[in-house]
């Protein structure tokens, strides 16, 4: 009996160590100078150190690895190497949670808004593709921005929550002055960075976000064996439900592994564990494609691992269309096997042409900016015709 009791206690200890001991969680931070601690009078007064101390006191983490570096931009996080790049961080430290926090350097450095958001989407995709949790913070205010710098800063602010609806933190609202664009006096360190009180305010944002909750109360596994196979000019997607109960599936596709578009939705009201599902993408884009499956069970959303393949034999297509909320410029990605002159047209739901322009699609991929400032909110269709008579169209939303 005593041996059985000891065995039971050892088994319980093992279960707690593997599944329930929260202080084994690791957090990594990437970002720029505010995340690195600039403006705080001592390192322990920075929002990252305050977060670390708080979570350690709760015995929920071992440490926070801070890889934020002053002067860096989102491109350093998306594509950088040692100490700044997300791929390097994930490979060398395998954190359970990554906090991504770039304050204002993209805006000041004239990084286009669509590039900033694409970089953030790529970082997010790399983290979540590894099965980990990623939180994206908004930029925070900064004094003396030019009109164009402020426009990029506000654009990033307004785009963060729609782009990352479940994993964003608002670093703007607690710090902004009444004029709506600069740092409030009580938080201002030097017009660019925040003081101790500002770092304390950002710590409260992180604390209130309860960033460890997805790990402490993880979603049940509801999906297994998600695969993608080419079939002539189509892609066949297969997956298996690993849990019983009503499920809602959304098949999502991407051309860059970062920005995903919903291409199919399915409900399985009478789903049983082990049930196989499939769907065929009859119109895949040429080149490299990424697929993932979004699954909703009991009101909770989870994602499959990302699968990718290369589609050959198709000549050209519209790739991503990006238009931020309230934006006036539509960024269109065109994928083509050769250089082409093209004509772009925007049509409303009745088929009436609203605006358009000519452009040049360089192989294998190029971007064209199309002004849509005169469009009211609503759904529209972009139609692109090449000089050799090939047509491609795609819907988008002005919001």
Q: What is the pLDDT of residues 8-41, one digit of tens each?
A: 333 333 333 333 444 478 999 999 999 999 999 9
Phi-psi region of 39 (alpha: psi -120 to 50; beta: other; left: phi over 0): left
In a domain, 81, yes or no: yes
SS3 for 209?
Answer: helix
In a domain, 6, yes or no: no
Same domain, 70 and 157: yes
Same domain, 265 and 344: no
Q: What is the pLDDT of residue 352?
A: 76
Q: Give the CATH number for residue 330.
A: 2.60.40.2550
Same domain, 232 and 193: no
Number of domains in the chain: 3
Same domain, 258 and 361: no
Q: Is 293 exposed, middle or buried (0-12, 13-18, 19+ CB in 10 A)?
A: buried
Q: Give the CATH number for residue 244.
A: 2.60.40.10
Range of the domain at 381: 316-398
Same domain, 202 and 344: no
Same domain, 101 and 193: yes
Q: What is the pLDDT of residue 75?
A: 94
DSSP string, 4-26: HHHHHHHHHHHHIIIII-GGGEE
Same domain, 332 and 383: yes
In a domain, 229, yes or no: yes
Same domain, 196 and 243: no
Q: What is the pLDDT of residue 9?
A: 35
Same domain, 187 and 284: no
Q: Give the CATH number for residue 116.
A: 3.40.50.1110
pLDDT one-digit tens code per residue, 220-275? 455 556 778 777 667 888 888 877 788 889 999 887 666 778 999 998 888 777 78
Cα atoms in the Cβ-side hemisphere of radius 13 Å centred on 364: 7
Gap between the Cα atoms of 181 and 193, Å rounded: 14
| Domain endpoint, select from 278, 311, 344 | 311
| Domain endpoint, select from 311, 335, 369 | 311
Same domain, 305 and 372: no
Q: What is the pLDDT of residue 219?
A: 47
In a domain, 10, yes or no: no
State both tokens at 234. 């189509």
What is the mean pLDDT of each successive set of 10 residues along the chain, which is 399 residues long? 35 36 77 96 96 87 91 94 91 94 94 92 88 93 92 90 84 89 94 96 90 65 68 80 82 77 88 82 77 82 73 65 81 81 80 84 84 84 77 73
Q: How many angstroms separate the Cα of 249 from the Cα of each of 189, 291, 293?
A: 48, 13, 7
| Domain endpoint, select from 162, 188, 216 | 216
Number of H helices and E strands in the chain, helices first, is: 10, 20
Gap between the Cα atoms of 345 and 190, Å rounded: 47
Same domain, 45 and 63: yes
Question: Whole-model pTM?
Answer: 0.55
């Amino acid at each position: 009996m005593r041996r059985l009791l000891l065995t039971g206690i050892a088994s319980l200890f093992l279960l707690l160590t593997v599944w329930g001991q929260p202080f084994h969680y690791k957090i990594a931070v990437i970002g720029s100078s505010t995340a690195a601690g600039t403006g705080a009078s001592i390192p322990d007064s920075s929002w990252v150190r305050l977060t670390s101390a708080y979570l350690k006191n709760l015995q929920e983490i071992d440490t926070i690895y801070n890889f934020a570096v002053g002067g860096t931009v989102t491109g350093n996080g998306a594509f950088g190497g040692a100490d700044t790049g997300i791929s390097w961080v994930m490979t060398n430290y395998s954190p359970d949670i990554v906090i991504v926090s770039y304050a204002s350097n993209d805006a000041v450095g004239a990084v286009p808004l669509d590039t900033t958001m694409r970089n953030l989407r790529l970082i997010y995709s790399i983290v979540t593709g590894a099965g980990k949790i990623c939180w994206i913070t908004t930029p925070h205010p900064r004094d003396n921005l030019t009109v164009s710098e402020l426009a990029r800063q506000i654009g990033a602010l307004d785009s963060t929550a729609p782009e990352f609806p479940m994993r964003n933190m608002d670093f703007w609202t607690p710090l902004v002055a009444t004029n709506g664009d600069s740092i409030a006096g009580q938080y201002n360190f030097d017009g660019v960075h925040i003081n101790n009180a500002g770092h304390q305010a950002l710590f409260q944002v992180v604390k209130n976000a309860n960033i460890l909750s997805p790990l402490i109360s993880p979603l049940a596994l509801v999906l297994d064996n998600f695969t993608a196979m080419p079939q002539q000019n189509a892609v066949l997607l297969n997956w298996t439900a690993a849990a019983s109960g009503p499920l809602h599936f959304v098949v999502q596709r991407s051309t860059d592994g970062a920005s995903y578009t919903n291409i199919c939705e399915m409900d399985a009201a009478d789903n049983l564990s082990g049930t196989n599902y499939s769907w065929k993408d009859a119109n895949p884009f040429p080149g490299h494609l990424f697929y993932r499956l979004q699954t909703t069970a009991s009101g909770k959303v989870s994602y499959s691992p990302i699968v990718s393949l290369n589609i050959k034999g198709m000549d050209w297509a519209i790739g991503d269309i990006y238009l931020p909320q309230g934006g006036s410029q539509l960024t269109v990605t065109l994928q083509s096997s050769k250089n082409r002159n093209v004509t772009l047209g925007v049509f409303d739901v009745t088929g009436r042409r609203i605006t358009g322009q000519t452009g040049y699609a360089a192989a294998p991929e190029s971007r064209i900016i199309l002004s849509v400032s005169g469009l009211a909110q609503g759904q529209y269709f972009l139609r692109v015709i090449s000089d050799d008579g090939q047509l491609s169209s795609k819907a988008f939303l002005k919001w």
